Amino acid sequence: MIATTLCIIVGIVLLILIFAGMPIAFATAVAGAVGIWQIAGWDALFGVLKTAPYRTGSEYLLSTVPMFILMAEFLSHGRIVHYLFEFAQRWMGHMRGGLAQAAVLANVGFAALSGSSTAASAAMARISVPEMQRHGYDDRLSLATVAIAGTLSIMIPPSLALIMYGILTEVSIGKLFLAGVIPGIMTGVAYMVTIAVWVRLRPNIAPPSESVNWKERWRAVFPIWSALLLIIFVATGIYSGAIAATEAGAVGALGALIISLTHGGMKWDGFVNSMKATVRTTAMIFGIVIGATIFGVFLAMTQAPQTLVASVASLSMEPWMIFVILIAIYVLLGCFIDQLAIIILTLPLTFPLIMDLGYDPIWFGIILTKTIEIGLVTPPMGLNLFVTVGSTKGARMQDCIVGIVPFLIAEVFVIAMLIIFPQLSLYLPSLLL
């Protein structure tokens, strides 16, 4: 009873610190430290503070994170995103709403190269939104398309969210990557169908563009051959077992640097900015992980995960009802807290519960990732909304928020399909021995 009361108090302290504006990394560390001090005293607290940051930060698998971030930054500061959009534009731009469709298709390609949704949204906003505005597209369609399409990077491998889930749960990252392929493609298709229906119902929001000949279309393939080669090389290395996920990140970063320097148009300033952005993002993620580790020690001392599992098991509820409640909680959390922070903070509680209910850990990883993906485009947090609007001159946030609604309906449909048909996520991993 005392432990439960303390958990509630520390949880309230954590929420107060977060909503007061304290960075999540520090808020979790402070709240966890207060809880450890209350349970075990100063000596135990100092022991945890002395060992936890180094032990957590030196985890070998975490080296995957900065490498894939660096890969995304190198590519976003080069011209490869421009080439991807140009390729998609020449093949699809002649259709009504084709430029918006092209932005989704280009994001599918960039997602397979980067794993960073914010980098995808920022890069595509600078390239595709002005082009759509030039052709008379409504800002609600153009801004919302770029914001929602950027979320594909959180599902399509290499995904930072899936990497963190694999590290924290000790589930194979390679199998998680495979599991994200079909849901990622389904999501991209759902976005494109949404655009097609929208422009059919409201033709004035997306005037048709002029078509280009087949010669111009095939010419657009040449600039992206190196990116396609990098995708194939990294994916084949991971799925064949030739290289580990950590090594694949390093190989991908080196390949992205070579591509961006040779014909990607990256200059010295772009290289420096890529390094700075990687350091900032990596420091943020490592800080959250370390803070969550301290908070996790507190939870372990209170035996909160075991208590939660036992309490839920005693309820007269079907497992699917408990699962639906968890999904609703994750959607709500995504509206207020960073997606990686949600994964790191909640998994110590929810993962044991999911395992006790008998669900597949790989399937749950995909559902979790898909659910928190929605948080990237829902206010008040909605990071992709802010990135897209902030990267577009003269854009208004209200246009982006209004335009995102039809895509959220598509997201709900995709999540429902993934929940009803688990094999959509599990078929490809089952092929990996």
Answer whether residue 1 shows pLDDT above 60. Answer: no
Q: What is the pLDDT of residues 222-246, one digit of tens each?
A: 777 777 777 777 777 776 667 776 7
pLDDT for 197:
92
User: Chain centroid to CA 341: how far?
Assistant: 11
Contact residues for 328 (Cβ-Cβ < 8 A; gap 6+): none
Average the pLDDT over 292-310 and give the result: 73
Q: How many angstroms separate the CA atoms of 150 and 141, rounded? A: 14
SS3 98: helix
Most confident segment among 8-17, 126-135, 358-367 = 358-367
pLDDT for 408:
92
Average the pLDDT over 133-153 and give the result: 86
Has this prediction a pTM greater than 0.75? yes
Q: How many angstroms separate the CA atoms of 151 and 116, rounded? A: 8
Average the pLDDT over 355-377 and give the result: 88
**In the numeric block, which tokens belong to residue 395?**
């854009």
Cα angle value 329/52/64 (rounded, 5°): 70
Query: By C-alpha distance, which of 365, 367, 358 is closest to 421?
Result: 367
Higher-pLDDT residue of 51, 19: 51
Q: What is the pLDDT of residues 44-61, one digit of tens each?
A: 888 888 888 888 777 776
How many helices (H) and strands (E) are present in the chain, helices listed first?
A: 22, 0
> For all residues of the chain together, what is the average pLDDT?
81
Query: By C-alpha distance, which of 267, 226, 227, 262 is closest to 114?
Result: 227
**In the numeric block, which tokens belong to residue 276?**
């700075």
Answer whether residue 433 shows pLDDT above 60. Answer: no
Answer whether residue 325 shows pLDDT above 70. Answer: yes
Higher-pLDDT residue of 77, 115: 77
**In the numeric block, which tokens belong to residue 301?**
């001392």
Higher-pLDDT residue of 250, 243: 250
**In the numeric block, which tokens belong to residue 73?**
């930054």
pLDDT for 190:
94
The one-letter amino acid at 267: K
Q: How many angstroms separate the CA atoms of 423 and 67, rounded? A: 31
Q: How many angstroms separate the CA atoms of 207 and 211, rounded? A: 13
The fraction of the chain above a pLDDT of 90, given in percent, is 12
SS3 204: helix
Average the pLDDT over 326-344 and give the result: 77
Contact 117, 153 (CB under 8 A): yes
**In the numeric block, which tokens belong to residue 414?**
């995709």
Average the pLDDT over 121-138 and give the result: 79
Q: What is the pLDDT of residues 39-48, one digit of tens each?
A: 888 888 888 8
Answer whether residue 324 shows pLDDT above 60. Answer: yes
State residue 88 phi and psi, 5-degree precision: -65, -35
pLDDT for 193:
93
Average the pLDDT over 67-71 and give the result: 80
pLDDT for 422:
92
Q: How many angstroms separate the CA atoms of 433 and 61, rounded? A: 21
Average the pLDDT over 165-190 and give the result: 89
pLDDT for 423:
93
Model confidence band, residue 407 (pLDDT cutoffs 50, 70, 90): very high
Query: By C-alpha distance, which of 368, 431, 5, 390 is closest to 159?
Result: 368
Answer whether residue 74 shows pLDDT above 60. Answer: yes
SS3 201: helix
Label residue 171 exposed, middle or buried (CB < 10 Å: 0-12, 13-18, 19+): buried
Average the pLDDT over 21-42 and give the result: 84
Q: How many angstroms separate the CA atoms of 237 and 244, rounded? A: 8
Most confident segment among 83-92, 323-332, 366-375 = 366-375
Query: Where are the chain's structural domains?
Result: 1-58+282-302, 61-266+305-431
Count Cβ neighbours within 10 Å for each residue of 389-410 and write b for 16 or more, e otherwise: bebbeebeeebbbebbebbeeb
Element (H, E) at 384: helix 383-390
pLDDT for 406:
92
